[in-house]
Amino acid sequence: MAAAAVAAALALGGGLVLAAWRWLRGEARAAAGAGAGASMRGKTVIITGANSGLGRAAAAELLRMRARVIMGCRDRARAERAAREIRAELGERAEAEGGGELVVRELDLASLRSVRAFCHRVLQEEPRLDVLINNAGIFQCPYMKTEDGFEMQFGVNHLGHFLLTNLLLGLLKNSAPSRIVVVSSKLYKYGEINFEDLNSEISYNKSFCYSRSKLANILFARELARRLEGTGVTVNSLHPGIVRTNLGRYVNIPLLAKPLFNLVSWAFFKTPLEGAQTSIYLASSPDVEGVSGKYFGDCKEEELLPKAMDDLVARKLWDISEVMVGLLK
Give the catalytic positions in this structure: 210
Round to whole Å and give the CA distance between 13 and 39.
Answer: 43
Alpha helices, DSSP H, located in the chain: 2-31, 53-64, 76-90, 92-98, 112-125, 152-153, 161-174, 206-227, 258-268, 272-275, 277-284, 311-324
Round to whole Å and give the CA distance between 245 and 121.
Answer: 29
Closest CA to 139 of 219, 252, 224: 252
Residue 42 CB partners (closer than 8 Å, separation 6+): 66, 99
Round to whole Å and give the CA distance between 59 and 48.
Answer: 10
- Amino acid in the structure at residue 82: A
Closest CA to 196 of 217, 212, 214: 212
DSSP character for 301? Answer: E
